[in-house]
Amino acid sequence: MGQAASTASVASRRESAQGHRAANTSKTRSTALVSPMLSGEEDDDNHRLGEAVIHDYISDLPDECLATVFQSLSSADRNRCSLVCRRWLQVEGQSRHRLSLNAQADLLPVIPSLFSRFDSVTKLALKCDRRSVSIRDDALVLISQRCPNLTRLKLRACRELTDAGMEAFAKNCKGLKKLSCGSCTFGSKGMNAVLDNCAALEELSVKRLRGITDAAAAEPIGPGVAAASLKTICLKELYNGQCFGSLILGAKNLKTLKLFRCSGDWDKLFQLVADRVTSMVEVHLERLQISDVGLQAIANYSSLEILHLVKTPECTDLGLVAIAERCKLLRKLHVDGWKANRIGDEGLIAVAKYCPNLQELVLIGVNPTKASLEMLASNCQNLERLALCGSDTVGDPEISCIAAKCVALKKLCIKSCPVSDHGMEALASGCPNLVKVKVKKCKGVTSEGGDWLRLTRGSISVNLDTGEAEHPDASASDGGAQDNGIEFPPMPGQTAATASASIASSSTGRSSSFKSRLGLLSGRSLVASTWRKWSGGSTSARHG
């Protein structure tokens, strides 16, 4: 009996030990399935148990390949990836090229650690809330020392920066290619320091530069060494915009000039520019004191392809005729006549006669008749985008003419015009390449007319708003906050393939002014939204 009891006890202990081993084997097998990184002992155990070891292939991926993967992710996804492990944190930071920061004064202490992580930044945005105290010169200088390879800098409401800070920055970042500053308070000396040190500067955008208070007494800006490389100059809301006259005159390779709401008489400057700058391709003029004299000077730019005339009441048919006769490569024309009735059939007929390459035409507060529209439709066989807003003379006969003659037309926008359902019926049988139609505040067009167009031409996207007509107020700048504002697609190849981050940022990055290529009109601004959504790029904050 005693021997039997002892034997049973030994057997029980053996079964218990086997059970423990089985449990450990099961646990090890489970761990092997979920954990790609095993310790040496676990690895040996698995080999003894005959288990297959799962290999961590991502650990073998070179940093360069991992960075390429990160560059295809959104900013939020990149931030999540940076939390996975230390290696991913390092690679993600080193592969960031664009950074947007909240430029408040308390940014200074974190600049060293911030740019130790993001040490490859070439495009930087510093934006401060208007109610906050912005960074000062010491912060900007420190940034320039940590990022000597900056190629783009955007400053918004950095009101504590002075001429001295801009000068130190310019000496440290001589490879700068694009500078955009708005609501800053440095003056002529700071701007001249950039122009004197940044020989590679290609784009300059200045809005509300408050450091230059007296245009007559202010130091002239430019030309500097940057004048030879400058291709784009954009000046907005400057009481002292003509201080940049020397720069504009010295920029002999200038391709694009945009002037929005800048005081002073610009006729004389354009007369001087016409003799020195011969390669101008794009000119935007909004709420500017310029007359036919200035337009006749602009007409000397035989390579001109894009012209915007927005609320320039002194410009008449005479100036537009001069443009048309000499600028035969014109592809895009925007005219906001501001209901002044100084630009009409005569100027548009000249455009139709001399500018056969016209692809895009926007008329706001202009009253064309069937005569000019028929000639435009017949002669401009490449016309793909047409907007007619706030015109008292565009009715069903004019729409019928467009439908019959504009064979290449793809996108049509009509607002606050005396058009009815008969015009919609004409569109249903014409314009074989028409893709999108937007009709807004045309009292004669009913929902039945829109439905008829949809039913007849199922491939056309029809956006119909039958609200009451209102007086159009057009603006071409700053994304078209005003009604009827115009913003057109970028030139091919202008979309950036670079990346950005929103680290410590109070902004959402660049606004989404360029949306999907086939999008159409939404929100308050009819035409502004139309052209933005017809564009192919995106200006929302990017990363990579």
Kindly write down the DSSP assignment for every residue of 370-382, as one continuous string.
HHHHHHHHHH-TT
- The region of weakest confidence among 241-255, 295-309, 488-502 is 488-502
End-to-end CA distance of the chain: 81
What confidence category does residue 474 fall into, taking pLDDT thresholds of 50, 70 and 90? very low
- Read off the DSSP letter of residue 273: H
Rounded-to-integer distance, Cα 166 and Cα 160, Å: 11
Residue 504's pLDDT is: 40
| Cβ neighbours, 10 Å, residue 242 | 22
Mean pLDDT of the chain: 80
- In angstroms, what CA-CA distances link 3 with 9, 11, 15, 17? 10, 12, 19, 21
DSSP per position, 88-105: HHHHHHHT--EEEEE-BG
pLDDT for residue 42 is more than 80: no
Rounded-to-integer distance, Cα 520 and Cα 413, Å: 10
Closest among 197, 137, 203 to 172, alpha carbons compared: 197
Which residue would you say has higher pLDDT here, 289 or 490? 289
Rounded-to-integer distance, Cα 230 and Cα 226, Å: 6
Closest among 327, 266, 270, 341 to 299, alpha carbons compared: 327
Residue 241's pLDDT is: 86
pLDDT for residue 50 is more than 70: no
Residue 14's pLDDT is: 46
Residue-wise pLDDT tens digits, 54-102: 777 777 788 778 778 877 888 788 788 878 888 788 777 777 888 999 9
Residue-wise pLDDT tens digits, 219-233: 889 899 999 999 999
Residue-wise pLDDT tens digits, 175-228: 999 999 999 999 999 999 999 999 999 999 999 998 876 654 568 898 999 999
Q: Is 84 exposed, middle or buried (0-12, 13-18, 19+ CB in 10 A)?
A: exposed
Residue 85's pLDDT is: 85
Judged by phi (left if over 0) then psi (alpha if -120 to 50, else beta), residue 85 lies in beta
Rounded-to-integer distance, Cα 101 and Cα 506, Å: 7
- Taking the mean position of all CA atoms in its chain, how far away is CA 341? 33
In the block, tokens 């002044």 appear at 340
Residue 55's pLDDT is: 74
Residue-wise pLDDT tens digits, 475-501: 434 433 334 444 444 434 333 333 333
Residues pairing with 415 in the sheet: 389, 440
Residue 214's pLDDT is: 62
Q: What angle do CA 444, 449, 455 make, to 5 degrees?
A: 170
- Taking the mean position of all CA atoms in its chain, how far away is CA 418? 34
In the block, tokens 């800070």 appear at 165
Residue 71's pLDDT is: 77
Rounded-to-integer distance, Cα 342 and Cα 387, Å: 19
Structural contact between residues 480 and 514, judged by C-beta atoms closer than 8 angstroms: no
Residue-wise pLDDT tens digits, 511-534: 333 333 333 333 334 444 444 444
Q: Which residues of 33-48 are buried (b: 16+ CB within 10 A; e: fewer)?
A: eeeeebeeebeebbee
Closest among 194, 188, 249, 191 to 213, alpha carbons compared: 188
Which residue would you say has higher pLDDT here, 53 or 55? 55
Residue-wise pLDDT tens digits, 410-453: 999 999 999 999 999 999 999 999 999 999 999 999 999 989 89
Residues pairing with 181 in the sheet: 155, 206
Residue 91's pLDDT is: 78
Structure tokens at 211: 């450091």
pLDDT for residue 37 is more than 80: no
- What residue type is 486 in one-letter code? I
Residue-wise pLDDT tens digits, 326-382: 999 999 999 999 888 899 999 999 999 999 999 999 999 999 999 999 999 999 999
- Taking the mean position of all CA atoms in its chain, how far away is CA 540? 7
Backbone torsions φ then ψ of 370, nearest 5 degrees:
-60, -30
Residue 497's pLDDT is: 33
| Cβ neighbours, 10 Å, residue 257 | 22
Residue-wise pLDDT tens digits, 113-171: 999 888 889 999 999 998 999 999 999 999 999 999 999 999 999 999 999 999 999 99
